[in-house]
Amino acid sequence: MASSSILKPSPTRFRCAGCHRSLLISPFRSSSFGGIALIFGFTTRYVVLGFVVFMLVATFSSHRYWEFADAAARRTQDSSFYKNTAMLGGFLFLFVCGAGRLSVDGWLRGRN
């Protein structure tokens, strides 16, 4: 039985020319811990600002649909671009409204 490449990743899988390994791991850590912080409503506005910056960079660097001539590739990039734009709208809504009273931020605000 062949082993899965996900379970045993090769050391060259995450190779980046001139990049330090921490640059490859830090987006994973920030999205994981940021997602957990958003679920519990802990430092919501700061986490949302970080996600907005990350999403803007990812959207405009990776999903430039206007550069594709192939219709299928253009459609895929187009949908990803507008998906990220919708997520940006949700993040900005969360930034304006805050976490709410049933969150860690709301609980900490009520203690003071």
Please enumerate, as own/partner, the contacts of 13-22 that have beta carbons within 8 Å and a separation of 24 or more: none
pLDDT digits (tens, 9 = 90+) for 58-85: 899 888 888 989 999 899 999 999 999 9
Return the domain boundaries, the chain.
43-111
- Using an 8 Å Cβ cutoff, are 78 and 24 in contact? no
Q: For 2-57, what is each residue's pLDDT tens digit? A: 555 555 555 555 555 566 666 666 777 778 888 899 999 999 999 999 999 989 98
Q: Look at residue 16 and give its three-state secondary structure.
A: coil
pLDDT of the residue at 16? 57
